[in-house]
Amino acid sequence: MVHGKKLAKETLLPSVLEDDDAETESEKLQLGERGASRTEVDVRGPKDQRSSSDGNVLDRGEREGEEKEEEEEEEELGGEEFVISDKDCDTDLELEGTEEAYDPTGQTYYMEACERLQVVPASSFLRHIRDSELSMAHYGLGPQGTKALAVPLVTNTSILRLNLRDNWMEGMGGAAMAKMLKENCYITEVDLSDNNLGDYGARAIAGMLKENSTLVSLNLSGNHFTDRSAEHLGPALITNTRLQHLDISHNALGERAGQILGDSLSENTGLRSLSLAWNGIRGRGAVMLANGLGMGRNPILSAGCYGILKSIQENPDSAMEALNFAGIPVNQDFEDLYTKVKEIFPALTINHGGRIGTFRKAKA
C-alpha cells in the first residue's frame, strides 16, 4: 500500500521533470511491473499452500488447473486487481491530506521533486515562495536543482519576477525552465543570464517563446549562444508579440546570426529594446541587422532611430550606405545627429517619416 501511495504521488508531479521520453517510459514500466507484482502477492498469498473450498489441501495437478483458470480470468478482467489497488491508494491520499489537493505556491510539489531528484531544498525559495519577486542569483542550483525548482513554479501564482542569474543550470536546466514558462501565466520578467544554456537551451527557450503570452522581459546574456541558437530564436521572435525587452549580449553570435535576427526583427511587432553587445556580429551581418530594424514593422520610434544612427557615428569602419525608417517620425535631436554623421559618411542616405516638429506646426 505504501508503494501504491508513492506511485500515485509521483504521477501528480508536473511534467517538467520528464526531460527524456525514453527514460521516463522505462521508469513507468518498471514501476508498473513492481506494483503489479506487489498486488499479486497481497491478494493471493503464497502459491505453494493452496486449499479447496472445503479446506482440503489440493495436490499439484489440481493446483495447476486452478491456477490456469485464474490466469484466464485475470486476462479477461484486464488487470482489474492493479486498478483497484491504485483506486484504494488515491482514496488514502485524499483522506490523509485533503489540503494537498490544491497548492497555489507549489511548495508540496517542490519538496517531492527535491526528494525524487535527491537535491537539498533551497531555503531561500521556501522563504520567498509567496513574494512577487524571487531572486536566487549565484545560488549554485545546477541542472538538477533547477529542475526541482521548475516544478512548483508551474502552479505558483505569486511570483511575477524571477532572477536565476549564474546558477550553471546548463541546457537541461534551461529546458526545464522553458517547460515551466509554457504553463505559468503569471511570471512577466525572467533573468537566466550566465547559465551556460548553450544551443540546446536556446532551442528550448525558442519553443517557449512561441507559446508564452505573458513574458515581457527576458535576459539571456552570457549563455554561449552561437549562430545555431539564432536559427532557433529568429522564428520565435516573429511569432511572439508580447516580449518587449530581450538581452542576448555577451554570447558568440556571428554574421549569420545578424542576418537571421535582422530578418526576424523586420517582422517583429513587440520588441522595444534589444541588446546584442559583445557578440561577433560585424560586416554584412551588422548591415542585415540594421536593415531589419529600419525596414520592418518594429515600433522603435524616434529614440530607436537615434540609437541606430548613433552606433554608426561611433563606428568609423561602418559600411552602411542607406537606412530606411519609412513611416517613423523623428525629432530635432535625430536631425542634428544626422547632420554630424553626414560629415563622416557623406554617402549615407536616410529615409524617415518626417520631423515631429513639422507635424506639430502644421496641426497648429
How confident is the model at residue 205, as a pLDDT?
Answer: 98
Same domain, 34 and 121: no
Same domain, 336 and 252: no
Same domain, 196 and 65: no
How confident is the model at residue 237, as a pLDDT?
Answer: 95
Q: What is the grid cell recorded at 24?
A: 521516463
Same domain, 6 and 94: yes
Cut 0.85: pTM above it: no
Same domain, 79 and 187: no
Same domain, 271 and 361: no
Q: Which of 277, 296, 315 marks a domain boundary?
A: 296
**Residues spanned by the domain of 334:** 300-364
Q: How many domains does the chain have?
A: 3
Q: What is the grid cell recorded at 143?
A: 541542472
Output the domain CATH number for residue 222: 3.80.10.10
What is the Cα 53 distance to its own chain's centre?
61
Same domain, 307 and 291: no
**Residues in the chain, total:** 364
Amino acid 210 reads: K
3-class DSSP assignment, residue 221? coil
Q: Which of 268, 296, 324 marks a domain boundary?
A: 296
How confident is the model at residue 304, as a pLDDT?
Answer: 78
Same domain, 24 and 62: yes
Same domain, 50 and 124: no
Same domain, 58 and 179: no
Q: Which of 279, 296, 313 marks a domain boundary?
A: 296
How confident is the model at residue 64, as a pLDDT?
Answer: 55
What single DSSP character describes residue 101?
A: G
pLDDT in tens, the chain (364 residues): 444 444 434 444 666 776 554 444 444 444 444 444 333 333 333 344 444 444 444 455 555 555 555 555 545 444 434 333 433 333 232 334 434 557 889 999 999 999 999 999 999 999 999 999 999 999 999 999 999 999 999 999 999 999 999 999 999 999 999 999 999 999 999 999 999 999 999 999 999 999 999 999 999 999 999 999 999 999 999 999 999 999 999 999 999 999 999 889 888 888 888 899 899 988 778 878 877 776 766 566 777 788 888 878 888 777 778 888 777 888 899 899 999 999 888 888 888 888 875 444 444 4
